[in-house]
Amino acid sequence: DKAENACRLYMAKSSTSTADWPLWGIYAGVDFDEAEQLGEPDVAIQMHNVMAHAMEQDDTEEDEYEIRSLERRSVEIMEQFTWVADSSGAKYELEPDEKINTAIPGTALLAAYGPKMANAAFNHTSSYFRPVLNEKPGQAHAGRGAYSHFYNVAMRTTTMIPAGFEIFMDYGENFKDEDEQEDAKLTSDDYKKVDQLVESMIEFMNNHKEELDEAAKKEIYNFILHDVMSAAAGSKKGKLISNILPDHPDELAKVKEAGGSLIYASPQVKKEMEWLQTEGFCMDNLVVGGSTIPNAGRGAFARRSLKKGETMAPVPLLHIPDKAMVDMHELDDDGNHAFRKSQNVTHQQLFLNYCLGHPESSMLFFPVG
């Protein structure tokens, strides 16, 4: 049911969260079809040569972590939460040998990492064909240059996502799970083949249910599950597959009902709606539009009526230890790497305008809700 008032996305504790590494995640509040937009489009903040501005000429990529400056460490932390420029249509903003880090503070940043589970990706088209929202090309005004002109960065589903299921972002080929290179691990393609096998076994059992008694069904099922699997996938993978599937052929339907063997083997990725409503936060109370304030660019508008004191939007904060990471300097390049010529600050990254801070503190907080 995609009623107008239904919350479409929830933020709650991720299924990948651990005691040592607690993480937020995003869950579907309604059923999503394949190729459907996920959440509101986000802004993209481009950071130009951010690592070069943090490095001295004597610094190298091989420097021990302990001797790296706090500023450089801050950049290294931040880079883990940024994207390549292609994701927002900023690929050609710099020269080919220069680098852009793109901060996209919404749904994409909070989506979980799990290559086998990936069900969402950037919709690159939306970044290029973005609507005009209060923009005034060629006109000088007080807000010009104060906010990013890269926006409408949208995510889309890459498969059907049922309500309650966690969103897993496709990080691209460079971030494929290293486990997928190991013979002893099941890849996403393996799980698809298992699903095909389950479909075939269910069909076979249904077609011959009048001819097979309980013992015969179990014997055939065990033969396929252990002997055939071991021969087709190898002993290690065959054992993993047999451990995933149910002990009795009559329970194979549960694999289909769960949404496939991968989800059946990882039931924690799908939450009950009651749990999401009590333990999570609705993420789609706001929509993007042109601000009603002149020259203020884009603004946020209520999607639905909100009561006084009600949470408008969950906003986790990314901690940046040293705000010097947003300082910009005159750069040089010795052929090995780019670096700042001096400590003289010439500008700040536009990213600073999207952070929270205090004049008497060196820390910044970047809102990522």
What does the angle CA 198 – CA 199 – CA 201 come to, to the nearest 5 degrees? 65
- Provide the angle, in degrees to the nearest 10, between the axes of the packed helices 188-207 and 235-244: 60
pLDDT at residue 331 is higher than 90: yes
What is the pLDDT at residue 181? 46
What is the pLDDT at residue 53? 92
pLDDT at residue 178 is higher than 60: no
pLDDT > 70: what percent of the chain? 94
What is the rounded distance in angstroms from the CA atom of residue 285 to the CA atom of residue 40? 10
What is the rounded distance in angstroms from the CA atom of residue 38 to the CA atom of residue 123? 10
- Mean pLDDT value across residues 88-113: 86
What is the pLDDT at residue 38? 92
pLDDT at residue 311 is higher than 50: yes
What is the pLDDT at residue 327? 94
- Binning pLDDT at 50, 70 and 90, where does residue 315 land? very high
Helical residues (DSSP H) of the chain, grouped into ranges: 70-79, 107-110, 124-128, 188-207, 214-222, 229-233, 235-244, 252-258, 261-265, 273-279
- pTM of the predicted structure, to 2 decimals: 0.80
- 52-69 per-position pLDDT tens digit: 998 888 887 777 767 677
How does strand 120-123 pair with strand 153-157? Answer: antiparallel
- Mean pLDDT value across residues 331-351: 91
Q: Give me the chain's average pLDDT, please.
A: 86
What is the rounded distance in angstroms from the CA atom of residue 107 to the CA atom of residue 119? 13
Element (H, E) at 338: strand 338-340
What is the rounded distance in angstroms from the CA atom of residue 314 to the CA atom of residue 291? 21
**Contact (Cβ atoms closer than 8 angstroms) between residue 179 and residue 237:** no
**Contact (Cβ atoms closer than 8 angstroms) between residue 193 and residue 158:** no
**Contact (Cβ atoms closer than 8 angstroms) between residue 11 and residue 281:** yes
What is the pLDDT at residue 7? 94
pLDDT at residue 279 is higher than 80: yes
**Contact (Cβ atoms closer than 8 angstroms) between residue 35 and residue 156:** yes
Q: Which two tokens stand for residue 11?
A: 């933020």
pLDDT at residue 168 is higher than 70: yes
What is the pLDDT at residue 180? 47
Residue with tokens 């536009």: 350
